[in-house]
Amino acid sequence: MILAGKTAFVTGASRGIGAAIAVGLAENGADLVISDLPQQAADLDKVLGRITATGRTGRILHLDVTDKAAIEAAVAEVGQIDILVNNAGILIPKRLEDLDEKTWDAHFNVNAKGVLLVSNAVLPQMRARKAGRIINIASIAARQGVPTQGHYAATKAVDLTLTRVYAQETGMDGITVNAICPGIILTEMGKENLGSQAAMDHWSNVAALKRLGDPDDIVGPAVFFASDMSRFVTGQALNVCGGIYFH
């Protein structure tokens, strides 16, 4: 129980990677605060049940990560947060030349500004305690871009830059900031974006491990970054992709 006594806050935790990380942190001893949009309430309830089944406590926040005032109020109400996982994100595939401003802005508001707003809300208490862990869920798309996902890849590249700069700006206060770059993970969103069994088979063959990822494959790296095992690691981005990308 390497996270015993810690409280973790995971955004976008109603399903997929966020849900897996939240449950995984609980299995390793952390109490959880999980959030997502109000329309994801039923899924959040299911995740909360999985958390409490581990013997840890959990709390739900219905929260839009683009709403600065709501974020600050929620963080103040929750109290101590030792581990922050910025996981909330959206992806609506479109070719860049077909991209409208509304879609562009929505992706940057959730995927990039959301990381900024939630991190800034949590950082003062971490600084006061001279301790904290921030984990940003990026993507290997940030490494080189992906057709029909250029806007999404751009937001995730912003997240990698935020990770590096936050690490430099907070390290003197005992806070580490790292990123995880998942590859193709078979979440609901991942399956929708692949679109066909043929696409799944193609990327399975491309991967060195000859399979695509499961949300639980992201849990180990998240626990590592959340724990003291990574106490001398900050500003880094770890590819968790089964060997699709090598850099």
Enumerate the active-site residues.
Answer: 152
According to the model, what pLDDT value does residue 146 have?
Answer: 87
Average pLDDT value for the chain: 95
Q: Above 80 in pLDDT, residue 26? A: yes
How many helices and strands (H and E) does the chain possess? 10, 7
Residue 194 falls inside a structural domain: no
pLDDT band at 206 (very low <50, low <70, confident <90, very high): confident
Residue 208 falls inside a structural domain: no
**With contact defined as beta carbons under 8 Å apart, do 223 and 2 qualify?**
yes
pLDDT band at 195 (very low <50, low <70, confident <90, very high): low
Q: Above 90 in pLDDT, residue 16? A: yes
Domain of 110: which CATH number?
A: 3.40.50.720
The runs of H, that is alpha helices, within the chain are 16-27, 41-52, 68-78, 101-107, 114-129, 141-144, 150-170, 188-194, 197-206, 219-226
Look up the domain containing 99 and give its range. 7-187+215-239
Give 5 or 247, the one with higher predicted confidence.
5
For 210-243, the pLDDT digits (tens) are: 999 999 999 999 999 999 999 999 999 999 999 9
Residue 205 falls inside a structural domain: no
Looking at the 3D structure of the chain, how many domains does it have? 1
For 72-105, the pLDDT digits (tens) are: 999 999 999 999 999 999 999 999 999 999 999 9
By DSSP bridging, strand 83-86 and strand 7-10 are parallel
**With contact defined as beta carbons under 8 Å apart, do 40 and 87 qualify?**
no
Residue 67 falls inside a structural domain: yes
Residue 25 falls inside a structural domain: yes
∠ CA 82-84-88, rounded to 5°? 160
* Beta-ladder partners of 33: 9, 59
pTM: 0.95
For 38-71, the pLDDT digits (tens) are: 999 999 999 999 999 999 999 999 999 999 999 9
Residue 192 falls inside a structural domain: no
**CA-to-CA distance for 176 and 3, rounded, in angstroms?**
15
Residue 176 falls inside a structural domain: yes
According to the model, what pLDDT value does residue 201 have?
Answer: 83
Q: Above 80 in pLDDT, residue 180? A: yes
Residue 2 falls inside a structural domain: no
